């Protein structure tokens, strides 16, 4: 079963990569003269990764913080935070904690306004509100779908607005938070097969690639940038340190946990 | 005497001195009148500051026996030198006050002097001078110090000098601090010269510290100021007096307040100079006796002149020798001083007034007849016609050409208009020397068979017929509720009676209502005066409103003249006061009401119960005043409930009315008594009483006979039931009286007997008063504005509400809603009550507006109706009222914001808050005015308040969510908000303000600025996208640091507004509390749209008020 999932994941990553490549091409066609042609790799939305964690989703949800992740007024950091909070939101759904979700939404709305993605996030917030106000049994399922859909819309919006650096930061935030929470969970309830989920080579590679493509000097000069670049290189090393048919050790997972925690903490206010 | 012998030395001295004086007077065999005359002021003087009256005191010592030696001994030891001298002077003056003084009196005085150790030949000289009545001043004796007056028992010292202690102060440094002191005994005055006297007495220098006697013609000279002993008498009289002297003319208005001999000047209008410097307005400026005062355009004067001329100040010549008829800027006026503008003069020669034309270019007619050089005119009667205005037209053009004469465009227009509208001007000079325009004469006012049914079909007037001729005072008498006031209202065309006609010189009144009514003055029973305005202001504002074309100075002259006529000149600047605080007496109020109408020179003056509620004295004065109007050839018609004989005789004709609006009698007062003889014959009981009343010409007789009860054979009054009420049965019913009178009329008609002489009624064209120019309308509007503003500012309750209520509520609401939910430290950002605060504030302001305005129209209903009848632009009234009240609302909004924002730490919303609070107030104000114009009942209007206010709360959007309201309220079920909500102003106000707190925060506005800036850069510069993004984010970060969201925005409001914006985007339709609204694809800020919506609301409501007031606001 796990093999099948892994195969699907890889397939999805590949499709995403192709799709992403096409998008960038289309986007940049008009501005060939002024805009450097770049290939940004769209990492797999971690929700898909989390799909594989469904059996432990409740435990994972409980791990998400009560207070939403907050950063300074720096808009790049806020892009990172959107990723973190979105990840938390997706993970938190299983806990059925409305107030937690509302708290996340509030901060998401605030940061998205600063970045310039106000409309998308506000629409999402309204829909979340609508879904939450219903007493449907399926409302949490709807909510999950909703957040994923909007995540896609947000990503699209980043692309459309050519805010690729912010997009990378959001991915970075989302994946780092996901990695941190997943690793924390498996460290508590050690399961070497389960821990194999961190072996998302495509994601790590695409993140490392995208980080190198960041153009903003402001980001490059920031401490979190170097922490993340170094961190993901180390994560890649750990991931690649075992063969596909082998398992990671607790130490490997601890290292990944520390690195991801350090990345998330480097931006946090 | 405990009061005077309680150890206080001064009191003891007064005690002893009184005993001494009383003993001296009583020691004579016969007490002389002149001695009492001297003693009386002395006692007043001595007892002035004591707790006991001299009367009580004298009464008591008269019953006591006391030892004179002891008294004199005490006085000798305790009186100071000056008082001893005064005692001696008193004795001398007493001795010489009559011709038959005795020698023993002189020897007694000498022994007293010896006892008091007062010596010197001066006293003997004084006695000699008094005996010989010498006019030269006399030096009597020296004194150790002039300052002894400060310890004197007497208080009547006139102290002259520069010092504060002086009651006649000078400013000149050459004058000593205390130059001299004057005191008086009887009518004799004595002067104590100071230490370095600069004063001269009849040209002679004085010795320091000496006492001089000032005979009647002594002249005192102090620096440049000279006065004589007669003036000293005025000064002495003034020492304990206080007074206010008003100096009022068209070009100045000031008062001099006199406290003792200290004077203060307070200028209210015009230019008044003190020693060459212009005096500022409304401040009490002390004036010194050597100050030179000058009114611009007049000769200089000093305080000496003020006291000298006091009898004349403010009193115009009652019968001037010459007055001049001036033509000034197209308006005619009478003035007392000659000028180039004079076109004629009126000279008093042996009490005959001669009219003498001064300019050939103007032709005059007296009563339509030409005359050669001069003609005698009769005041009040003769009509002076001024013909040929070409002359004035020419002079106008000439004036315009002159460089030094600038005629304002509006003045020229006015004159041209006057020239266009009129060929001749007719005037009459009344006995107050006021020029009264007589546009046309009304000879006869004929009321024929007027019948009127009220709305409930009851009879208000039942075939009333009478006529009133020029120069007649008609009294309408009758019991309460008989229809007197209804008849008057029909005469002043407030309504048109169901049947019958009223004609003015053969012309139907109602057909020419608006023209005739300009010449009708109506004084209703209730006061038509503004309580918070002065007598003058009431006249001025009304005058300006009704005669905006008349220049201001002429209007003021006219007002002053009329105030003289109605004897209210002395109350000119007094506030009128309301029912609770009646500053003017009932009679004065009524006179002011009449004066208001006289201002417009009515040809017919109609007064409803002018004497009601007044004392007989006041009532008689009012009748005198109205009688005076009759003398001025006006038709005066009044209703009187119960006149006394004096008043009754003053009527030219009386109309007696009975219940049900029935006419009982019309004729002269003398005929009235004879008319009822027939009925007097048939009554048995109380006959003598009634006969006596006839004998006394007591008008009570009419009521007695008209309402005479029916008696049974035992002499008991009979009763009957009428309209479910048991009432006294009348011997003669109202129908009886009506029929009797109508029979009389019929008889007269049949026999062609008519007691009234037939007047030749010349059918003249009614002269229209000028149509209002734009300038006049502007004057009218500004007058309304001014009147409303003054009225509001004088209303202490209103001021208190404005300046106390708003801050107090702000304090209360803000303090209660200052919530710090998560930590001890309060932050505006975290306060979840801000939304509630905004809603409560809106409701408060709607309430403020309503409470401020809901009584306005109702309270001024009578004025509005009066001004409507007078063809004043009621829209001006309405707009000005709204504007004045808006000012107060904005002030309230400012105060409310300042207090509440300080407590709640709201930053950056000054303009938004003040704007929205003011708009809330204006909506409330408009609604209040609307209801005030529709409801005619004070209680009803109070009860309506919750009915207006509660929907504002329920449908405002903050208390109950719209989707949680009864769905039956929504007509179109798809609508998220019930349609009724959209009609509620508070919903728009709340939405606008809340969304404004999100979109108009400093933080948001600054961020938007950055976005715009970056967008411009993006289009125009060579920066790369990434560079621009970096720049943008850096700037945004700066803004967020400088104006952090957690200080300049509110979390809850941001959240709800953002959520609603999300819904707006999702549903693609306008959503409540969404910061954007879409109209035909165009997106606009809700905060702005809602302002427009509220303004439209205000306009619509005010339009409704305007229509109501203009077309449907009637009695």
**Angle formed by the axes of helices B81-96 and B33-46, to 10°?**
160
**Virtual CA dihedral for B525, B528, B532, B536, nearest 10 degrees?**
-110
Nearest to A122 among B1036, B1044, B1062 (CB): B1062
Which of B1058, B1060, B1067, B1075 to probe the A interface (max A CBs under 10 A)?
B1058
Q: Model confidence at B310, in pLDDT bands (50, 70, 90)?
A: low
φ and ψ of B638, to 5 deg? -135, 155
- Give the residue ranges of DSSP H helices in B148-204: none
Residue B1045: its chain A contacts at CB < 8 A? 110
Q: How far is A105 from chain B (nearest CA, A)?
A: 10
Alpha-carbon separation of residue B710 from A115, B413, B685, B715 (angstroms):
101, 70, 9, 9
Sequence-distant (≥ 6) Cβ neighbours of residue B438 within 8 angstroms: B383, B426, B427, B428, B601, B603
In eight-state DSSP terms, residue B982 is G
In the predicted model, what is the mean pLDDT of chain B? 83
Which of B1023, B1033, B1051 to probe the A interface (max A CBs under 10 A)?
B1033
pLDDT of B317: 47
B746 against B1074, higher pLDDT: B1074
Least confident of A236-250, B660-674, B754-768: B754-768
Instruction: With a cut of 70, say whether residue A35 has pLDDT above it.
Output: no
Instruction: With a cut of 90, say whether residue B311 has pLDDT above it.
Output: no
**Virtual CA dihedral for B539, B540, B544, B549, nearest 10 degrees?**
110
Q: What is the pLDDT of residues A134-181, one digit of tens each?
A: 777 788 888 878 877 777 777 788 878 788 888 899 889 988 998 898
Instruction: With a cut of 80, say whether residue B519 has pLDDT above it.
Output: yes
Sequence-distant (≥ 6) Cβ neighbours of residue B224 within 8 angstroms: B290
In eight-state DSSP terms, residue B718 is P
| pLDDT (average), residues B678-695 | 85
Give burial (CB, 10 Å; 0-12/13-18/19+) of A10.
middle
Residue B1063: its chain A contacts at CB < 8 A? 126
Helix %, strand %, coil % of chain A (to 5): 75, 0, 25
Give burial (CB, 10 Å; 0-12/13-18/19+) of A3.
exposed
Best-predicted range by mean pLDDT among A216-230, B269-283, B299-313, B736-750? Answer: A216-230
Distance CA A172, CA A178 (A): 10
DSSP letter string, A36-72:
-------PPPHHHHHHTTGGGHHHHHHHS-SSPP---
Q: Which two tokens stand for residue B142?
A: 């020296």
Q: Model confidence at A128, in pLDDT bands (50, 70, 90)?
A: confident
Instruction: With a cut of 80, say whether residue B573 has pLDDT above it.
Output: yes
B57 against B1063, higher pLDDT: B1063
| Contact across the interface for B1062 and A215, Cβ inside 8 Å | no
Instruction: With a cut of 60, say whether residue B978 has pLDDT above it.
Output: yes
Distance CA B387, CA B569 (A): 34
- In which element (H, E) is residue A162 found? none
Sequence-distant (≥ 6) Cβ neighbours of residue B757 within 8 angstroms: none
Coil, strand or helix at B1076: strand
Q: What is the pLDDT of residues B597-610, one digit of tens each?
A: 888 888 899 999 99
Q: What is the pLDDT of residues B699-724, one digit of tens each?
A: 888 888 888 888 887 778 888 776 66
pLDDT of A46: 57
Which of A75, A160, A161 to probe the B interface (max B CBs under 10 A)?
A75
| pLDDT (average), residues B439-455 | 84
Could you tell me if B1034 lies within 8 Å of chain A, comparing CB atoms? Answer: yes
Could you tell me if B1045 lies within 8 Å of chain A, comparing CB atoms? Answer: yes
φ and ψ of B804, to 5 deg? -110, -45
Sequence-distant (≥ 6) Cβ neighbours of residue A156 within 8 angstroms: none
Closest residue of B to A164, CA-based? B1026
Sequence-distant (≥ 6) Cβ neighbours of residue B965 within 8 angstroms: B978
Q: What is the pLDDT of residues B454-495, one digit of tens each?
A: 888 888 898 888 999 988 999 999 888 889 999 998 998 888
Q: Model confidence at B538, in pLDDT bands (50, 70, 90)?
A: very high
Could you tell me if B1029 lies within 8 Å of chain A, comparing CB atoms? Answer: yes
| Contact across the interface for B1033 and A127, Cβ inside 8 Å | no
Q: Number of C-alpha atoms within 13 angstroms, CB side, residue B1041?
A: 10
Contact yes or no for A163/B1029 (Cβ under 8 A): yes
Question: Strand B262-269 and strand B285-287: pairing?
Answer: antiparallel
Distance CA B263, CA B260 (A): 8
Closest residue of B to A77, CA-based? B1033
Nearest to B1062 among A72, A106, A125 (CB): A125
Handedness of CA A210, A211, A213, A214 (dihedral sign): positive
Q: How far is B961 from chain A (nearest CA, A)?
A: 14
Least confident of A22-31, B345-354, B810-819, B900-909: A22-31
pLDDT of A252: 92
Coil, strand or helix at B606: strand
Cβ of B1099: how many Cβ atoms within 10 Å?
Answer: 11
- In which element (H, E) is residue B413 found? helix B409-421
Give the CA angle between residues B30, B32, B38 to the nearest 5°.
140
Q: How far is B1054 from chain A (nearest CA, A)?
A: 9
Sequence-distant (≥ 6) Cβ neighbours of residue A15 within 8 angstroms: none
| pLDDT (average), residues B171-200 | 90
Distance CA A137, CA A111 (A): 31
Q: Which two tokens stand for residue B833?
A: 């009550």
Contact yes or no for B81/B144 (Cβ under 8 A): yes
pLDDT of B1017: 82
| Contact across the interface for B1058 and A119, Cβ inside 8 Å | no
pLDDT of B244: 77
| pLDDT (average), residues B955-978 | 83
| Contact across the interface for B1062 and A163, Cβ inside 8 Å | no
Q: Would the pTM count as exceeding 0.80?
A: no
Instruction: With a cut of 80, say whether residue B623 has pLDDT above it.
Output: yes
pLDDT of A24: 35
Q: What is the pLDDT of residues B198-225, one digit of tens each?
A: 888 888 889 999 999 998 888 999 888 8
Residue B1065: its chain A contacts at CB < 8 A? 119, 122-123, 126
Sequence-distant (≥ 6) Cβ neighbours of residue B776 within 8 angstroms: B414, B548, B549, B770
Distance CA B324, CA B355 (A): 10
**Angle formed by the axes of helices B774-794 and B535-546, to 10°?**
160
pLDDT of B899: 95
Here the ipTM equals 0.75
Q: Model confidence at B363, in pLDDT bands (50, 70, 90)?
A: confident
| pLDDT (average), residues B780-794 | 91
Sequence-distant (≥ 6) Cβ neighbours of residue B606 within 8 angstroms: B488, B491, B492, B520, B521, B522, B523, B636, B637, B638
Q: Model confidence at A52, in pLDDT bands (50, 70, 90)?
A: low
pLDDT of B990: 95
Residue A158: its chain B contacts at CB < 8 A? none
Least confident of B552-566, B972-986, B1012-1026: B1012-1026
| pLDDT (average), residues B806-831 | 88
Q: What is the pLDDT of residues B71-93, one digit of tens each?
A: 888 888 888 889 999 989 888 88
| Contact across the interface for A126 and B1065, Cβ inside 8 Å | yes
pLDDT of A50: 63
Nearest to A122 among B1025, B1033, B1061 (CB): B1061
Q: What is the 3-state secondary structure (H, E, C) of A196-256?
A: HHHCCHHHHHHHHHHHHHCCCHHHHHCHHHHHHHHHHHHHHHHHHCCCCCCCCCHHHHHHH
pLDDT of B836: 93
Q: What is the pLDDT of residues B24-49, one digit of tens each?
A: 877 766 767 777 777 777 887 888 77
B252 against A209, higher pLDDT: A209
Distance CA B264, CA B257 (A): 5
| Residue B160 backbone zone (phi > 0: left; psi -120 to 50: alpha; other: beta) | beta
Distance CA B582, CA B575 (A): 9
Contact yes or no for B418/B430 (Cβ under 8 A): no
Interface of A with B (CB under 8 A): 34-35, 72-76, 106, 109-110, 113-114, 116, 118-119, 121-127, 129, 162-163, 165, 215-218
pLDDT of B823: 65
How close are the terminal C-alpha atoms of chain A, in Å?
Answer: 41
Which of B1007, B1059, B1062 to probe the A interface (max A CBs under 10 A)?
B1062
pLDDT of B402: 41
pLDDT of B759: 44
Of the candidates B701, B708, B702, B703, the one whose C-alpha atom is nearest the C-alpha of residue B684 is B708
pLDDT of B313: 61
Contact yes or no for B191/B85 (Cβ under 8 A): no
Handedness of CA B83, B88, B91, B95 (dihedral sign): negative
Alpha-carbon separation of residue A3 from A6, A197, B143, B783 (angstroms):
5, 11, 135, 94
| Contact across the interface for B1037 and A73, Cβ inside 8 Å | yes
Instruction: With a cut of 50, say whether residue B147 has pLDDT above it.
Output: yes
- In which element (H, E) is residue B479 found? none
Q: How far is B1055 from chain A (nearest CA, A)?
A: 7
Give B 1046-1065 residues with CB within 8 A of chain A: 1051, 1054-1055, 1058-1063, 1065
């Amino acid at each position: 079963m796990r093999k099948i999932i892994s195969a699907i994941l890889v397939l999805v990553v590949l499709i995403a990569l192709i799709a992403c490549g096409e998008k960038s091409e289309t986007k940049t066609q008009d501005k060939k003269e002024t805009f450097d042609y770049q290939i940004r790799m769209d990492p797999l939305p971690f929700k898909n990764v989390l799909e594989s964690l469904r059996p432990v989703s409740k435990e994972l949800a409980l791990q998400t913080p009560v207070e939403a992740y907050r950063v300074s007024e720096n808009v790049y950091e806020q892009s990172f935070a959107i990723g973190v909070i979105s990840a938390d939101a997706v993970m938190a759904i299983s806990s059925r904690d409305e107030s937690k979700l509302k708290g996340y939404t509030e901060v998401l709305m605030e940061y998205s306004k600063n970045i310039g993605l106000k409309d998308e996030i506000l629409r999402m917030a309204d829909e979340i509100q609508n879904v939450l106000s219903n007493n449907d049994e399926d409302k949490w399922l709807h909510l999950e779908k909703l957040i994923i859909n909007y995540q896609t819309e947000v990503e699209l919006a980043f692309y459309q607005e050519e805010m690729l650096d912010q997009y990378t930061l959001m991915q970075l935030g989302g994946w780092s938070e996901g990695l941190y929470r997943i690793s924390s969970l498996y460290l508590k309830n050690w399961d070497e097969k389960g821990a194999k989920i961190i072996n998302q080579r495509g994601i790590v590679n695409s993140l490392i690639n995208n980080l190198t493509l960041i153009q903003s000097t402001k980001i490059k000069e920031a401490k979190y940038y170097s922490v993340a670049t170094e961190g993901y290189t180390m994560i890649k090393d750990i991931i690649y340190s075992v063969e596909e048919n082998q398992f990671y050790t607790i130490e490997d997972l601890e290292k990944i946990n520390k690195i991801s925690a350090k990345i998330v903490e480097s931006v946090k206010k | 005497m405990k009061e005077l012998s309680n150890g206080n030395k001064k009191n003891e001295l007064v005690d002893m001195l009184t005993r001494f004086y009383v003993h001296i007077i009583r020691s004579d065999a016969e007490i002389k009148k002149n001695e009492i005359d001297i003693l009386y002021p002395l006692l007043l003087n001595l007892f002035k500051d004591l707790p006991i009256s001299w009367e009580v005191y004298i009464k008591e010592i008269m019953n006591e026996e006391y030892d004179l030696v002891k008294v004199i001994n005490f006085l000798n030891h305790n009186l100071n030198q000056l008082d001893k001298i005064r005692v001696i002077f008193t004795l001398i003056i007493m001795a010489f006050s009559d011709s038959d003084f005795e020698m023993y009196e002189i020897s007694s005085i000498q022994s007293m002097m010896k006892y008091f150790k007062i010596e010197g030949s001066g006293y003997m000289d004084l006695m000699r001078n008094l005996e010989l009545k010498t006019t030269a001043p006399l030096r009597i004796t020296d004194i150790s110090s002039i300052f002894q007056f400060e310890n004197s028992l007497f208080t009547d010292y006139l102290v002259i000098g520069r010092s504060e202690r002086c009651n006649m102060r000078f400013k000149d440094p050459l004058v000593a601090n205390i130059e001299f002191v004057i005191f008086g005994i009887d009518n004799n005055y004595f002067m104590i010269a100071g230490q370095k006297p600069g004063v001269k007495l009849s040209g002679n220098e004085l010795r320091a510290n000496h006492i001089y006697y000032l005979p009647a013609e002594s002249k005192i000279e102090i620096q440049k100021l000279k006065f004589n002993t007669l003036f000293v008498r005025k000064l002495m009289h003034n020492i304990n007096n206080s007074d206010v002297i008003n100096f009022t003319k068209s070009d100045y208005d000031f008062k001099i307040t006199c406290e003792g001999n200290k004077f203060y000047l307070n200028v209210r209008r015009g230019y008044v100079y003190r020693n060459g410097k212009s005096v500022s307005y409304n401040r009490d400026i002390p004036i010194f006796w050597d100050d030179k005062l000058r009114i611009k355009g007049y000769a200089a004067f000093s305080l000496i002149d003020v006291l000298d001329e006091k009898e004349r100040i403010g009193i115009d010549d009652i019968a001037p020798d010459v007055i001049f008829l001036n033509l000034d800027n197209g308006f005619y006026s009478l003035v007392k001083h000659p000028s180039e503008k004079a076109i004629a003069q009126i000279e008093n020669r042996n009490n005959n007034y001669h009219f003498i034309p001064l300019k050939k270019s103007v032709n005059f007619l007296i009563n339509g007849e030409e005359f050669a050089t001069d003609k005698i005119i009769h005041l009040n009667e003769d009509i002076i016609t001024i013909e040929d205005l070409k002359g004035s037209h020419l002079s106008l053009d000439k004036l315009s050409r002159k460089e030094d004469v600038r005629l304002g465009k509006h003045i020229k227009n006015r004159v041209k208009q006057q020239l266009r509208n009129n060929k001749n001007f007719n005037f009459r000079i009344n006995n107050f020397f006021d020029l009264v325009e007589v546009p046309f004469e009304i000879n006869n006012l004929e009321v024929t068979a007027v019948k009127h049914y009220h709305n409930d079909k009851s009879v208000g007037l039942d075939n009333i017929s009478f006529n009133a001729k020029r120069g007649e005072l008609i009294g309408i008498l009758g019991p309460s509720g008989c229809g007197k006031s209804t008849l008057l209202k029909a005469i002043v065309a407030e309504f048109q009676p169901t049947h019958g006609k009223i004609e003015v010189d053969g012309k139907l009144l109602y057909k020419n209502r608006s023209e005739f009514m300009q010449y009708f003055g109506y004084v209703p029973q209730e006061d038509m005066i503004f309580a918070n305005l002065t007598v003058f202001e009431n006249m001025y504002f009304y005058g300006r409103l009704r005669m905006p074309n008349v220049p201001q100075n002429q209007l003021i002259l006219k007002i002053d003249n009329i105030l003289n006529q109605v004897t209210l000149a002395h109350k000119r600047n007094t506030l009128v006061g309301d029912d609770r605080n009646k500053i003017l007496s009932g009679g004065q109020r009524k006179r002011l009401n009449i004066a208001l109408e006289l201002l417009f020179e009515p040809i017919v003056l109609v007064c409803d119960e002018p004497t009601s509620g007044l004392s007989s004295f006041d009532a008689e004065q009012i009748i005198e005043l109205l009688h005076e109007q009759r003398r001025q050839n006006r038709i005066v018609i009044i209703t009187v409930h119960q006149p006394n004989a004096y008043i009754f005789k003053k009527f030219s004709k009386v109309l007696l009315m009975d219940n049900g609006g029935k006419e009982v009698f019309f004729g002269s007062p003398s005929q009235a008594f004879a008319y009822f003889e027939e009925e007097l014959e048939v009554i048995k009981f109380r006959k003598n009483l009634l006969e006596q009343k006839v004998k006394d010409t007591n008008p009570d007789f009419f009521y007695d006979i008209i309402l005479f009860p029916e008696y049974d054979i035992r002499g008991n009054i009979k009763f009957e039931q009428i309209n479910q009420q048991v009432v006294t049965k009348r011997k003669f019913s109202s129908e009886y009286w009506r029929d009797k009178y109508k029979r009389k009329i019929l008889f007269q008609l049949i026999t062609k007997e008519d007691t009234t002489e037939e007047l030749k009624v010349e059918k003249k064209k009614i002269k229209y008063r000028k149509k209002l120019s734009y300038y006049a309308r502007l004057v009218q509007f500004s007058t309304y504005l001014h009147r409303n503003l003054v009225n509001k500012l004088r209303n202490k309750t209103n001021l208190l509400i404005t300046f106390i209520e708003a801050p107090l509520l702000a304090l209360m609401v803000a303090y209660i809603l200052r919530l710090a939910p998560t930590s001890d430290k309060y932050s505006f950002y975290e306060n979840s009550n801000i939304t509630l605060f905004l809603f409560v504030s809106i409701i408060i302001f709607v309430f403020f507006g309503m409470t401020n305005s809901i009584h306005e129209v109702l309270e001024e209903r009578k004025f509005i109706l009066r001004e409507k009848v007078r063809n004043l632009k009621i829209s001006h009234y309405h707009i000005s009222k709204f504007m004045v009240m808006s000012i107060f609302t904005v002030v309230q909004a400012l105060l409310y914001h300042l207090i509440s924002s300080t407590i709640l730490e709201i930053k950056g919303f000054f303009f938004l808050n003040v704007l929205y609070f003011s708009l809330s107030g204006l909506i409330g104000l408009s609604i209040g005015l609307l209801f005030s114009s529709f409801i005619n009942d004070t209680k009803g209007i109070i009860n309506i308040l919750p009915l207006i206010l509660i929907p504002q709360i329920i449908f405002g959007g903050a208390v109950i969510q719209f989707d949680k309201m009864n769905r039956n309220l929504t007509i179109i079920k798809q609508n998220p908000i019930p349609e009724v909500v959209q009609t509620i102003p508070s919903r728009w106000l709340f939405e606008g303000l809340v969304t404004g707190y999100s979109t108009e925060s400093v933080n948001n506005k600054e961020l938007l600025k950055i976005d715009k800036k970056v967008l411009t850069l993006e289009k125009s510069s060579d920066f790369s996208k990434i560079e621009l993004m970096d720049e943008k984010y850096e700037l945004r970060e700066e803004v967020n640091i400088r104006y952090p969201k957690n200080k300049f925005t509110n979390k809850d409001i941001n959240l709800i507004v953002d959520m609603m914006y999300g819904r707006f985007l999702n549903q693609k339709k306008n959503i409540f509390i969404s910061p954007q609204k879409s109209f035909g694809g165009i997106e606009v800020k809700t905060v702005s749209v809602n302002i427009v919506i509220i303004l439209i609301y205000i306009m619509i409501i005010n339009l409704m008020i305007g229509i109501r007031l203009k077309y449907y606001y009637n009695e």
